[in-house]
Chains A and B, each alone.
Chain A
Amino acid sequence: MNKEQSKRPFIVTWVVVALIYAAVFISEQIMPPSSMLFTVLKKGATYALVAVSMNLLNGFTGIFSLGQAGFMLIGAYVYGIFTIPLDVRAQVYQYFNGGLVQFTVPVVIAMILSGLAAAFFAFLIGLPVLRLKSDYLAIATLGFAEIIRAIFQWNNLGPLTNGSNMLRLFPSFNDFNIKDANGKVIVYLSTLIPFIIAGVCIFLIVMLIRSNYGRAFKAIRDDEVAAEAMGINLAHHKQLAFCISSFFAGVGGAMLAMYQTTVQAKSFTSAMTYEILLIVVIGGVGSITGSVLSSFLFVACSEWWLRFLDEKQMIGNFEVPLLRNGFRLVVFSVIIMIVVLFFRRGIMGDRELWDMGADSKAERGAKQ
């Protein structure tokens, strides 16, 4: 395969990505900001990042971790703690005299701190846990997420975490809109920004996967013993993958905080982790493109397209049966079960956007 040929799919990929970003930017300027579309795009971008970070572990390194919600929680809290403006801290930390932290850092730095804090916790947790095998590892990380949740809710840590009460009033996506002196929005950026954050992070993950480290991760996934025999340091690489994945989960947590405008430890349950895991499975375990696609599909279905199933619908005088609150989720879970049982490879299998244009057989052959 010559170089010219192998480059083409990447150019195509870049063009597709650029077009998507342009479309997002333009539609945000011309469509009313109240449209459900933007909610879906913002939440979708957030989930895309988290799903990709989970895929890095589960799909590319073969470490079955269920601690995602815990790391997101850490990220969201760190972001909130360091960015709530000083003048409203007394209001947010109303039961704790304005809280312990009395300074703020810029949003970008807070996001990086979010990631670092999550990665640091991952490092500590990884020391004992990563020695465990498949489902034991899963249940141990799930347990850790629950423990983290309890710690963040502990009243005695209130000056830092606001106890079990919510953090709020920190900068959210809407604060990225550029406004004139009267507070009227001139340029809408509230959807483009999460796309950019998620895009940069996902790009970094893709670069990692395509590097030597990424190849080592895949080797571990395919056969631990063989990988070790080839001179790959198992403990080191697993720890690395775990920390990096957690870093991006932490950043994703910060994005979720910005999307939700409030943060509360209570909502980062194992159900959230399961949701992300299902996104990864639907997209295809081992495909970044798949995770991204299915995040948007998942969010759009659950928040928007299937909403009509939750309300009574009349066709003429005929009331459609079964439709009432909760039906959306039933339909949704049935769809998920069908994917899990009958389309086990998900939307993309292990293919990527940049594999699509090329002669896929040759590419796949080269991969294996």
Chain B
Amino acid sequence: MKKILALIMILALMAPVFAVADDMPVVKIGVYEPASGDSGAGGKQEALGVQYANVVTPTVTIGGVEYKVELVQADNGSSTDKAPSAAQKLVSENVSVVLGSYGSGVSIAGSQYFADAKIPAIGLTCTNPQVTAGNSHYFRVCFLDPFQGTVLANYASKTLGATTAYCLGELGNDYDQGLITYFKQAFEALGGTVIKEDFPTGNSDFTSYLTNAAMYSADVFFCPVSIAYSTQIISQAAGQGLEIPILGGDTLDSNVVAQAATGTNVKIIITTFYQEGANAEFDAGFKAWMNSDAEALTNNGGNDMIAAVSVMGYDGYYMALEALKAAGTIDSAAVMAILPSVEIDGVSGHIAFDENGDAIRTSAFVKTIDNATGEWMFVSEQTVD
């Protein structure tokens, strides 16, 4: 019995070796995303976009040779202490470029490992400025928090007429803390008052925070937190009959959040990267693929509603392919050197990098949830002057 077990173990270890024994050379792209933890749901949706892109375009021609693109996944567990080993795993697999991660904190935590190995990373939806600031290996295809915070503050102040905003973030979550800071700056510049509170990681009783917002007579409840917490906040807000709108960032753009708000009276307004319907061809293809793959559908939260993060994953994949083509080699250092000048026309619009390695973006979509149907509805496209 023991011997058989040992044999199975050895075979299992060697399995990847057999899998690669194809005739086509392979280029590896690292998918550095959370598959568990508070951001797991979002990370899975983001990875879905990358996987779909990989199904659509499984090969790439680099320097005249056709390569098979292999995705290497690493779960950073939504936590900064698990991030190093996930990043190290990608490095040890010799990936040419890394995509991700959902969540700015884990992106920053893994950053140094990619830098030391001279592997470029393309952030898909990590919006905190610190991800790309002061380094030359991290790029990103989405907009940034100073921009998003300003858009949200403008919307709250000008469209909703809010004068007091209650902000709630998770302690030690760089995304929450960053976005709230920029929202606060912009909202106060518009003459508003901001009250900011934090909850400890793992908290699930938000009733007192909701009471706090009411006590301060806030006009909006701004909670750009991860999906796990936002669904809890929404359901408890429904229970307490919260009357003010909940404002959120791109993390809330998920069908999981929409499901939580369905059948309640909680109004939710968010900013995000993409609105379903903007690119009919992509939408149709992506939905068809998810519906044909049970696992993909599960990872998307059970239905085929398109999350904006999946679109960013899709665009990020093509950005990586374009960079590989332009570099003409699978050497990661060469890809890093060429990346600043790579441009693509993605599903989410034209993407080109500025001197920081950030995508130049001037508009964000504002969406809200139809509480009756549980669908995301387009409100407006916002720019900042």
Binding site for B on A (CB under 8 A): 33-36, 39, 43, 88, 91, 94-95, 150, 153, 155, 163-166, 168, 172, 174, 259-262, 264-267, 272, 303, 307-308, 310-311, 313-316, 320, 325-326
Contact = CB atoms under 8 A, between A and B. Distances in A.
Q: Which 7 A-B pairs have the closest CB atoms?
A: A266-B172, A267-B81, A164-B172, A261-B112, A164-B171, A39-B88, A36-B92
A163 B116 CA distance: 27
Contacts of B174: 165-166
B163 interface: no
B177 A39 contact: no
B128 to A, nearest CB: 10
A305 B79 CA distance: 21
Contacts of A311: 73
A174 B94 CA distance: 18
A153 B117 contact: no
A88 B135 CA distance: 11
A186 B325 CA distance: 32
B191 interface: no
Given A308-B12, A325-B36, A164 B89 contact: no
A164 B11 contact: no
B12 A165 contact: no
Contacts of B109: 166, 168, 260-262, 264
A108 B74 CA distance: 34
Given A164-B177, A313-B12, A315-B15, A266 B201 contact: yes
B80 A264 contact: yes
B113 interface: yes
6 contacts: A33-B117, A39-B92, A261-B109, A264-B81, A266-B80, A314-B15
Interface of B: 8, 11-13, 15-16, 18-19, 35-36, 73, 75, 79-81, 83-85, 88-89, 91-92, 94, 105, 108-109, 111-113, 116-117, 130, 133-134, 171-174, 177, 181, 198, 200-201
A164 B196 CA distance: 14
A266 B181 contact: no
Given A95-B181, A164-B198, A315-B15, A88 B134 contact: yes
Given A166-B108, A172-B112, 11 more contacts: A34-B91, A34-B94, A35-B92, A95-B177, A153-B198, A166-B174, A260-B84, A272-B81, A303-B85, A313-B15, A315-B11
Nearest to A303: B85
Contacts of B117: 33-34
Contact of A36 (B89, B108, B173): B89
A311 B31 CA distance: 14
Contacts of A150: 200
Given A261-B109, A326-B36, A165 B11 contact: no
A266 B181 CA distance: 19
Contacts of B80: 166, 260, 262, 264, 266-267
A34 B81 CA distance: 19
A308 B75 contact: no
A316 B36 CA distance: 29
B84 A261 contact: yes
A43 to B, nearest CB: 8
Contact of A91 (B105, B112, B130): B130
A308 B201 contact: no
Contacts of B85: 39, 43, 303
B177 A165 contact: yes
Given A165-B177, A326-B36, A308 B79 contact: no
Interface centre among A260, A272, A303 (most CB of B within 10 A): A260
A166 B105 contact: yes
Nearest to A272: B81
B12 A153 contact: no
Contacts of A320: 8, 12
A163 B79 contact: no
A93 B185 CA distance: 17
B113 A153 contact: no
